[in-house]
Amino acid sequence: EYTYRLDKANGVGLPKIPVHPIGYHDAESLLRNMGGHAPPDSSWKGNLNVSYNVGPGFTTHYSTRKVRMHIHSNNEIRRIYNVIGTIRGTVEPDRYVILGGHRDSWVFGGIDPQSGAAVVHEIVRSFGNLKKKGWRPTRTVIFASWDAEEFGLFGSTEWAEENAKVLQARGVAYINADSSIEGNYTLRVDCTPLMYSLVYSLTKEIPSPDEGFEGKSLYESWYKKNPSREYKEVPRINKLGSGNDFEVFFQRLGIASGRARYSKNWNTEKYSSYPVYHSVYETYEIVEQFYDPTFKNHLTVAQVRGGLVFELANSVVLPFDCRDYASAVSNYAHIIYNLSRNHEEELATYNVSFDALFSAVKNFTEVAASFHERLQQTDVNNLLAVRSLNDQLMFLERAFIDPLGLPGRPFYRHIIFAPSSHNKYAGESFPGIYDAMFDIESKADQHEAWEEVKRQISIAAFTVQAAAETLKEVA
């Protein structure tokens, strides 16, 4: 009630162009008869047997035709409700592990979000049973049911903004619990590199639900079906993008985050998301009859999400591995450098160097290794020593946050990861450098464009070096 409200006309994120979903048949007819200019390049073309002209107007035979849209939208302010539950920690009650998922949906929401909401309920029930038997977590566990996710992640964002100072000081991790399934092929995990080792060890303890993998672990079936492209000996883990409730926790506050769900075979099923996504056909029946008839994949996802929360809340030493982060950052630095080599002449002309970034990555790698050597020698019964090391682990993700944000995107503040500025659902590494170099040859002022690349390299190098400093032994 005390918050100042922006005028609705100036609200951030409100769409300016009216949009309405239409069926395939109508869309094909419109595309087939579209006149005007040809598409600028192949990325504007699909696989239909049409020209994909972009208008204006229609072809000769249809030049007098018009398309009318009747939009009946009422913009009004509505109250939304987040539901929050907690189990207070016994040793570190001021350290929070959060499990959150939304419950609002477009139409029936049989998959998005109710397949996730059901898993949240089951995890809460399981933790409740443990609590009845006298168990308490080491750290406080927060369960959250978010409202208004589909309208722009409003519920989670408003809660995180209201509690930002507390969360920045006390937030250990956030596990997202949206749709539990988007296919039935194998597990899919997106998370911070800090959680890689935890995810791998946990999935080795969970039985695989996949046919042909009876008696084997989830890790084995996941690795067989989706091996990592960078590290062939482990399953693939994706970078966190956006489009879901973890965004504010990870991208803005720097809280280690992760998500897990059962997914399709992305190598053969190349369409975006799943076919009934956000449609009237997304019902309980389609889940029960087609996606997961025995609900065994739901159970597996519940075990992964619940297991992550349990380990993060109950381990004496936080199950984060900085060495995995160092390895990932090194890999990302080489990827962005190799991308820059498509412009060898410009790199030389404008004196662009990645040396500072590689030096910072090297320092970070060495400090991360040293930190874990020190961690292994720590007496776990020395609560003050453990607390100090846990704080260093917890705050590492925060070290990658730039309070000024990315250029043109002040709410995206993570220097290592951000949603691609060209695809919000996909994650991009070193996004400041990547965005500065994207389509750089078309920039009018080449000197200014490459100066921005140099500035972003400098910011990235400073941030990685600063992160390394946070892991050094306290003098």
What is the set of active-site residues?
A: 149, 353, 391, 414
CB 119 within 8 A of CB 302: yes
Angle subtended at Cα 464 by Cα 98 and Cα 157, rounded to the nearest 5 degrees: 30
Please tell me the distance from the alpha carbon of residue 209 to that of residue 212, in angstroms, as a whole number: 9
CB 119 within 8 A of CB 145: no
**DSSP annotation string for 95-111:** EEEEEEEE---STT-TT
Please tell me the distance from the alpha carbon of residue 243 to that of residue 15, in angstroms, as a whole number: 16
Q: Number of helices and strands (H, E) in the chain?
A: 15, 8
CB 318 within 8 A of CB 312: yes
Please tell me the distance from the alpha carbon of residue 468 to that of residue 365, in angstroms, as a whole number: 8
Strands 256-263 vs 186-191: parallel, antiparallel or unpaired: antiparallel
CB 254 within 8 A of CB 467: no
3-state secondary structure of 401: strand
CB 374 within 8 A of CB 366: no
Please tell me the distance from the alpha carbon of residue 305 to that of residue 180, in angstroms, as a whole number: 10
Phi-psi region of 380 (alpha: psi -120 to 50; beta: other; left: phi over 0): alpha
Helical H runs in 287-343? 296-314, 322-340
CB 236 within 8 A of CB 226: yes
CB 368 within 8 A of CB 322: yes
Please tell me the distance from the alpha carbon of residue 25 to that of residue 111, in angstroms, as a whole number: 25
